[in-house]
A and B are shown apart, each in its own frame.
Chain A
Amino acid sequence: MARFTTHSQDGGRVPDELTDLLARVTRPARYVGGEFNVRRKEGASPRIVLSYPDVYEVGISNPGLQILYSWLHELTPASVERAYCPWPDLAALMRERGVPLWTLESFSAVRECELWGFTLQHELTYTNVLEMLDLAGVPLHADERSDGDPIVMGGGPGTANPRPVAPFFDAFFIGEAEGRLDEIVEALRALSRAQRLARLAAVPGVWVPGRQRSATSGDGAGEAPGDIAAGTRHAGGGGEAGRVAGGQRVERQVFTAFSRTSPVTEPLVPLLEAVHDRAVIEVMRGCSAGCRFCQAGLWYRPVRERPVELVVESAVRALAATGCDEVSLISLSSCDYSGIEDAVRGIRERRPDVRISLPSLRLDSAAVSLARLGNEQRGSVTLAPEAGTQELRDAINKRVDERQFVEAVRAAYSSGFTGLKLYFMIGLPGERDDDVRAIAGMAATALGEGRRLIGGRAQLSVSVSSFVPKPQTPLQREPFAGAALITSRQELLRESMPRGARLSFHDVGSSQVEAALARGGEELAVIIEAAWRLGARFDGWREHFSLETWRRAAATSGLDLDEAGGLVPDAPLPWEIVDARIAPRFLAEERDALTDGRTREDCRFGACSQCGACVGEIEMDLAG
């Protein structure tokens, strides 16, 4: 009879009470960890649990969580574990049997940790946050939690406007946390939950809703009144009602040492097939291109680049540690990284056997050629013109002209790519029917070029999303176009598209909910909770999203979903609590440029735009 091997690596024994559960659900490997490069610190404290509020295969690929997991383990004494959102089949069984949400590293109850951190990447994960809180046995509302409950902290780009989920979180970290991890961990060493919260509130970048930083005493006694909800339609109008109490704002944190620190080279590598299956190296943070709709570009300013040598060495190490045959050089616009060609060539020399992928290609032929250099087998390339006419592209500051577009298309089809994917948005401010028809025109141009160059092998797909105005952007006050208009524009595009081009649309209903949640105040929390109680989960998944559920949720709360997230003109914004380090004057100028046709050049090549991101020691840091 065979025996277990003497070199047993079976460090992740699954508890008996979970094996029965796991025998009854799909993809049980989602819930048991055991990845390559998993880390454990037995008996360490404080205990931190990190969560991406989506299913494992999505969450494990998130680079932000990988950074926090790695850095907290390596650089702090904290124990760090993870939990992702259980799929509905497991969630139902957990509730039926009273099994609380567990961590992947040790199968411990999540609620036993000191700090539970959620990364808020987009609004359609908010109901999953509630799902996970409930499955863990943690009260949904922060003001209902007591000493036995973990501190629930939110982070990530969703903190650009944390208001809609503020009642559910004890704290938020605004901005990049790498430079404050020691302080956060130190704060968790306090003896009581109240003391931990008080100390966290003193960490730069941390916002504790319901507390005013100036009113906190050292031992956490005597909570100050909560911040006044800012000016939304449902908060009683604008004007004086929206001012942030006490004038306190939380400054977005910028990790100024980014360029001097190594990216994660021993990331968690799932055994289960995940959304992305490649080593990831973050080459650059921030973007100076200045697209006026883009929240991430401004949120992560100023641009900071890692040195080429560091990128190449890190990529080689990450490939060895992961066993991947592909490395992705990620950033918001990797082709703008000043060392991109040297980095690609450098990695190619050290590892000629691997593919190098560049997400978010700049729309020009040089970028396309670089993409081909990095990956000779890949069959398709993605370009994002975003708008169909020069006028509209100029309005959103997407500085791409027809000539560049055609050259990039030709470069794609003539360099071996057989497939081209184009991304566009509809519902932009000032958009007319002709702008939408022009999208079809660009698709026809692209397909025509493809067929001319490679004949019938040329494939084209066009993906169209709906513009959702986001906080902390020049377009933050622009209206969401609405379901009716977007639907009619989709129909117009369907009628205009050339034969042979595949067309896909982002679901309008989910865009509507996203638009409501993105700019809402704390009144949206009522709708979020109502939607969750009505069964909303995994709203980012087409097969699970239900607009009707959200409408009912809004109605039960006495609100209209079509108006939720709408702003009172000239009133303070719900996200005023967050100082994004972007000058209001800059946002106003960019907003005005929407209608006067002005474009603004990339500040890394041209004049400083005075956006406000570079102040003191915080400045652009380029590799070349």
Chain B
Amino acid sequence: MSGLGDDRDGLVSWHLLRFSRTGSARYLSHLDTARALQRTFARAGVPIALSRGMRPKPHLSLVLPLPVGAAGLSELAVVELVDPNERDGEEPGRDESGDSRDATSGDVSAKMANDAPAEAGDRLARLRAAAPEGIGIEALEPAAARPRPVAVSADYECELAVEPERLAPVVAWFKAEEEVRLQRTSPKGTKTIDVRRYVRGPSLKRSGHGSRLSFTVRYDATGAARPEEFVRLLAEKAGADPVMRDLVRMRVAYKESRGSTPRG
């Protein structure tokens, strides 16, 4: 199936999908999560527009990857949908005779920009019913133009198997330092990251498993710290098991990459 081409503004529209990833779904990779969402849309009969070329790909992208094992309560994806005003069961891009819809026929653009509330509600209900366990569909918001949100900051919490009394001095040390560097190794090589630059406001509470650590990761043009890097750093400094449990991304603040106001 070929892509719809650049002159398809009357047939497709961009949306922001807000969703959560919890329960058993937290163990999915970034690509698996994207695939699960694509499949959810297909099962719900809400077609996603495809890219052009020999191997069309659905136009759905997750704004900020979640680490494997992490739950996310405030996740965002950008998705391009095919005409939402088609009747149920009708194939995307075709009218009753089976011919491709002409973008100029009728007031398609107007319909696209003003998504009927009843249809939007029905579509949201279908998405929620079609989603697998652990993927919560919260909202599907139409956008006038292709949105390009980027993350500004994200609030995390996780459990560590170490008593707060052992971890607190390490947290205090981290806060006091101007720089805290670690080595990040990837297939591309090794580079040095200043974790202090990207991580703000770590705090501790006692929990059933030891400590509940809260912190914020900042994202900027130079990159970000990975939550697991920061947690491993603290745990190893405290002489504790670096494996974190129940990592949850509680909230993410986004902005449009063209510099508009942040959205949370």
CB of A5 within 8 A of chain B? yes
B1-45 with Cβ < 8 A to chain A: 1, 20, 22-25, 27-29, 31-32, 35-36, 38-43, 45
How far is A603 from B55 in the complex, measured between Cα atoms in Å?
41
How far is A321 from B133 in the complex, measured between Cα atoms in Å?
15
B134 x A10 contact (CB < 8 A): yes
CB of B245 within 8 A of chain A? yes
The number of chain B residues with a CB under 8 A from chain A is: 47
Also in contact, A353 and B92, with CB within 8 A (given A1-B251, A4-B136, A14-B23) = yes
CB of B250 within 8 A of chain A? yes
CB of B163 within 8 A of chain A? no
In angstroms, how far is the closest chain A Cβ from the Cβ of B64? 14
A323 x B24 contact (CB < 8 A): no
A8 x B243 contact (CB < 8 A): no
A7 x B136 contact (CB < 8 A): yes
- A10-39 near B? 1/0 per residue, CB < 8 Å: 111110100110111000110111111010
| Chain B residue nearest to A325 in the complex (CB) | B42
Q: Which of A20, A38, A273 contacts B31 (CB 8 A)?
A: A273
| Chain B residue nearest to A23 in the complex (CB) | B243
B251 x A273 contact (CB < 8 A): no
Q: Which listed segment binds A: B67-75, B142-150, B191-199?
A: B67-75
A269 x B39 contact (CB < 8 A): yes
In angstroms, how far is the closest chain B Cβ from the Cβ of A280? 15
A323 x B133 contact (CB < 8 A): no
A34 x B133 contact (CB < 8 A): yes
How far is A353 from B2 in the complex, measured between Cα atoms in Å?
9
Q: Which of B43, B45, B132 contacts A35 (CB 8 A)?
A: B132
List the A side residues contacting B20 at CB < 8 Å: 2, 4-5
How far is A4 from B39 in the complex, measured between Cα atoms in Å?
22
In angstroms, how far is the closest chain A Cβ from the Cβ of B89? 10
CB of A352 within 8 A of chain B? yes
List the A side residues contacting B43 at CB < 8 Å: 36, 320-323
A9 x B131 contact (CB < 8 A): yes
B130 x A22 contact (CB < 8 A): no
List the A side residues contacting B243 at CB < 8 Å: 20, 23-24
List the B side residues contacting A11 at CB < 8 Å: 23, 133
Query: Interface centre among B55, B74, B132, by most A CB within 10 Å?
Result: B132
How far is A24 from B27 in the complex, measured between Cα atoms in Å?
12
How far is A34 from B132 in the complex, measured between Cα atoms in Å?
7
In angstroms, how far is the closest chain B Cβ from the Cβ of A376? 9
A300-321 with Cβ < 8 A to chain B: 320-321
CB of A588 within 8 A of chain B? no
A9 x B39 contact (CB < 8 A): no
Q: Given A7-B136, A8-B136, A29-B32, 5 other A-B contacts at CB below 8 A?
A: A4-B20, A10-B136, A34-B134, A36-B132, A323-B130
**Interface on B for A, CB 8 Å cutoff?**
1, 20, 22-25, 27-29, 31-32, 35-36, 38-43, 45, 54-55, 68-69, 73-74, 91-92, 128, 130-138, 155, 161, 209, 243-246, 250-251
